[in-house]
Amino acid sequence: MNPVNPLRTAVITGSSSGIGLELTRQLLKDQWKIIALNRSAFPADDRVIQSALSSGQLRSIQAKFTNYASLRSALDQIRSQTDSIDVLFNNAGGSTSTLQYSDQGRELHFELQTVVPYIIYRELYELLRQGKMKTVVNTSSTAFRMMKAFDLDTLERPASFKKLFGPYAASKLALSLWTAEAASKAMADGIRLLSVDPGGNNTLRSNKTSGLPFYIKPLMKLFFSHPSRGASLLHDAVLGSVKHDSGAFLVNNKAARLRFHEQGSTILQRVHEIYEQNYLNT
């Protein structure tokens, strides 16, 4: 194995399966040092991953993302053992088949896919400032293009539930909205924020309950790309030939317009309130 480039360090959340796992493999091949923040362990039979864990090129930290005590412990560990971060890939997520709430009493998709990425970003902000590339990539989605209405109240406590195009889509839209809204302030410190749609990827797992509508599953098996395709889109958002403006929402590696952009400041204000009042004071 070639020496690890000490100037390239990435934190990847949700990297033990699917798109995150493929992104981890790609960056390991490119000699990046990876800090993986996951809810579950890496596959024990993956030789590339296990070799990187043994060599120290890959470091694995586990946490329950929506439990603030668990998340704080994991982030404290990263800060205490890391000098700088070049790229933060906020990739962890998922969809549930029923309406569920977090330990803090907020709708689970909103907590996991909107609030927690902001907490991780803020908690690792100083390490990003010390990095060379200073980039945050938030994994989003185009599922919200089907939404006809959007507001903060339905994010935290929705009146109804719809698979994929309900709370899941709304939380991804909110993620992209706060990314775009926070971008200008972050650029004052040289930090670039992007949200990226990884496209349609076949991330079905036989041992996990899916939050997908029944008619999506056969389409996913037949027509959706291997997760390496989505990983490449996340990878190219940072390392591709095109340098995108901070705050951009990328679809197929091109900047796309965000719906409901006028609500960006409201979403950012709310997630920052949660970070300061709930996370820091817990």
Class of domain 9-200+227-279: alpha beta
Q: What pLDDT shows up at residue 223?
A: 57
User: Smallest Cα–Cα separation from 9: which of 110, 186, 135?
Assistant: 135
Which residue ranges in the chain fall short of pLDDT 50?
1-5
Q: What pLDDT shows up at residue 220?
A: 60
Give pTM, 2 decimals: 0.92
Alpha helices per DSSP H over the chain:
18-29, 47-55, 68-81, 108-110, 116-123, 125-129, 152-156, 167-187, 216-223, 227-239, 264-273
Q: What pLDDT shows up at residue 6?
A: 54
CA 204-60-192 angle, to 5 degrees, is 80
Q: What pLDDT shows up at residue 213?
A: 59
Q: What pLDDT shows up at residue 218?
A: 61
Q: What pLDDT shows up at residue 142?
A: 94
Asked whether 128 and 35 are in contact (CB, 8 A), the reply is no
Asked whether 73 and 81 are in contact (CB, 8 A), the reply is no
CA 178-140-28 angle, to 5 degrees, is 115
End-to-end CA distance of the chain: 43
Residue 105: partners with Cβ closer than 8 Å, 6 or more residues away = none
Task: Residue 252: count other Cβ atoms within 10 Å of its Cβ.
Answer: 11
Asked whether 129 and 189 are in contact (CB, 8 A), the reply is yes
Question: Domain map of the chain by residue range?
Answer: 9-200+227-279
Cα–Cα distance between 8 and 113 in angstroms, integer?
26
Burial 32-58 (b: 16+ CB within 10 A, else e): bbbbbbbbeebeeeeeebeebbeeebb
Question: pLDDT tens for residues 150-161?
Answer: 999 889 999 899
